[in-house]
A = this chain, B = another copy of it.
Amino acid sequence: MQNNMPLNSQSRAPLRQLYRSSLSLLTDLYQLTMAYSYWKSGLADQQAVFHLFFRKIPFANDFAIATGLEAVVDYLAGFHFSEEDVAYLATLTGNDGQTLFEPGFLDYLQQLKLDCDVLAVPEGTVVFPHEPLLRVQGSLLQCQLLETPLLNLINFPTLIATKSARICAAAGDEPVLEFGLRRAQGIDGGATASRAAYIGGCAATSNVLAGQLHGVPVRGTHAHSWVMSFDDELESFIRYAEAMPNNCIFLVDTYDTLEGVKKAIIAGQQLRESGHEMIGIRLDSGDMADLSISARKLLDDAGFPQAKIVASSDLDEYKIKALKAQGAQIQIWGVGTRLATAYEQPALGGVYKLAAIQDENKQWKFRVKRSNDSIKVSNPGILQVYRFQQDNIWLGDVLVNELDKPQLSHIQWQNFGEQNLQIMPVGAQGQALLQPVMHTGKIVYQKPTLPEIQAYAKQQRLAFQQQQTKKPYPVGLETNLLKLKQKLMQTNN
């Protein structure tokens, strides 16, 4: 087995090294040992097609929201092996103590430029199981090197955007703020979650880095420690309002919540005299339904009907629904850990499967990964996903092998969940979900802005939620693709 080169720990500063220009080592070692073995066997340039997809929607939701493409584009655009990368790889050894990789291979890696094709579903698209979110077509070696980073960069944000959509749906028209950084899984675990949460519908984040990097709107006022740093709670509110009159949400539960509300009102009155309005108050503990109702009354009676009540405290879609059912008077929802880590189910099981490979005569051979569990059998082909709609009603999504060039106007298909062949009604329009991102190694994708992505995701959710009657939403295979799959499932490898 290979070992790492002993490193001088004092000279390492991983945090500051990370996110330098080269991230080619963001991969599982087996991608590199396979790449080496393809190279060594003369098979490195054999053309292949891989699809990235998930098999199960997280949180038993009706859909997921594809997210992460921006990072994928950046990753692909910057892909290269630096001198340091290959120097590290040169230190790895096998079970005989000899190096794993020949110098010729390391030279090859350092010269390597991607020349593959990548298609992807745009960020914010409502997606379903078995639908490729990405399709990579290129040399076996390149396809393999990209597997792990693409999964890492898509699985997590897609999970979080989907969770965010659920939480925002529970909050209805009321804004949700994402507060999860302190318990997020790593630095970009936080920043990526903030961006994905915004795409899923959140109004803003507390995470300043996500604001700077991704353009997510940021929000924040003060914590309990502000109050505790003064001898008196009222004084703390007044001093905060003097310092930052245009950003006052008073956190009222440091000692006694309703007493805190009364002090916030006094501070709010002083603030008003100076020509400013408080934004509101924040509750962070206790019986949020009761406290918010009492606080609302205090604020209204004191002439602050516009002051918002913000709630935060281990919230998620379930607690928000429960609080609303109890008549809670909450206008803004602060959601942290349970959103930024998708606490209920903290990983999306996206996979990346070989679906086609060229033989020596450049003929495509198709592949399925078989399994005793039929839902785990992958789909062969060079796939495109068509979303059919008529009069703005979504009818179903159909996976098609592009080599079959099927007539979209007369498409025959079979839903994953059913046995009968179906035909789309006359006039149904099929829209291709996978769009070109990289062509022969060049980025051909115009990134939308973050607000554009958020707006598109909202439009997608509305289209799905308002118009979809069948559950689960029908997703299936075009007839020829279905036959190909059935044939391959019976073939003895």
A contact residues vs B (CB 8 Å cutoff): 1-7, 9-10, 12-21, 23, 25-34, 36-38, 40-41, 43, 46, 48, 50, 70-71, 74-75, 77-78, 84-85, 88-89, 92-96, 98, 100, 140, 144, 147-148, 151-153, 155-156, 179, 181-193, 195, 204, 206-209, 211-226, 228-229, 231-233, 239-240, 242-247, 254-255, 276-277, 279, 285-286, 337, 341-343, 346-350, 353-354, 357, 365, 367, 369-372, 446-450, 492-493
Contact = CB atoms under 8 A, between A and B. Distances in A.
A351 to B, nearest CB: 8
Given A9-B447, A342-B346, 17 more contacts: A1-B279, A5-B215, A9-B450, A15-B19, A18-B209, A19-B20, A30-B220, A88-B208, A94-B247, A96-B246, A100-B244, A156-B184, A231-B493, A337-B349, A343-B346, A343-B347, A346-B346
A17 B70 CA distance: 13
A309 to B, nearest CB: 15
Given A13-B77, A26-B190, A46-B229, A213 B18 contact: yes
Contact of A41 (B85, B242, B365): B242
A346 B277 contact: no
Contact of A1 (B37, B219, B370): B219
Contacts of A21: 16
A100 B343 CA distance: 33
A490 B40 CA distance: 74
A16 B211 contact: no
A152 B190 contact: yes
19 contacts: A17-B213, A30-B221, A37-B244, A38-B243, A41-B243, A50-B225, A85-B212, A89-B208, A93-B246, A94-B246, A94-B247, A98-B246, A144-B223, A148-B181, A182-B350, A183-B350, A185-B341, A186-B190, A231-B365
Contacts of A50: 225
A219 B328 CA distance: 53
